[in-house]
Amino acid sequence: EERGTFAGARHTGRPCRGQSIENIARVQESVVDQPQTLTRRCSAQLAISRRSLQRILSKDLHHFPYKIQLVQALHPEDKQAHQEYIRAFINLAENEKNFISNLMMSDEAQFQLIGFVNKQNCRFWGSANPRITHQRPLHPDKVTVWCAVTAERIIGPYFFEDHDGVVQTINAEHYRTMMENVLMPQLPEDHNMWFQQDGATAHTTQATM
């Protein structure tokens, strides 16, 4: 109503020295050389206020603070093993009758019993820090569950617990007990099954194989 436009008002004061062309170039060079440097350290090294540094990174350079992703380490020989597995799988699918129908895939998963709180997703707005805390034990209760899946049905779930409900650590003995008492009785007797498991130690011991 006052200016006849939705655009922001023009600043008539002195320009912000922190966001000068020279500082933008210095920040860009610093980020290229050391992308993992903290903003506080970068601010001290360049003698620029942290607020001006953050403005340059977000508004001028269009940079954002990305988090590192944790992935499983792969070795050079893993690629060859992966390709060999794929070729063997395709060969079985093409040449073995009802291979997919007779394929059983299995694995275990671990669950926390007390609930998991991701602090990155929890925010509390206020004029002052409410100092809200969430108490959790040093060693939270967990349970490991095994399950197998075929094209027709699900076998399980099986909880690795003793007779008193105490959680058991998966080892070769407990794994074989599960296979003998849960898996084997449910396998069909009139035809063979292809059983797939990963390379965990409990799966690949001589007694288990």
What rounded mean pLDDT belongs to the chain? 85
Please, which pLDDT band fits residue 174 given cuts at 50, 70 and 90? very high
- pLDDT score of 10: 64
- pLDDT score of 104: 93
- pLDDT score of 14: 55
Please, which pLDDT band fits residue 172 given cuts at 50, 70 and 90? very high
Strand 154-159 and strand 194-196: the pairing is unpaired
pLDDT tens profile 20-33: 888 888 888 888 88
Nearest to 19 by CA among 63, 54, 65, 44: 54
CA distances from 97 to 103, 151, 188 (A): 11, 14, 16
> Using an 8 Å Cβ cutoff, are 105 and 148 in contact?
yes
pTM of the full structure: 0.57
Please, which pLDDT band fits residue 197 given cuts at 50, 70 and 90? very high
Please, which pLDDT band fits residue 57 given cuts at 50, 70 and 90? confident
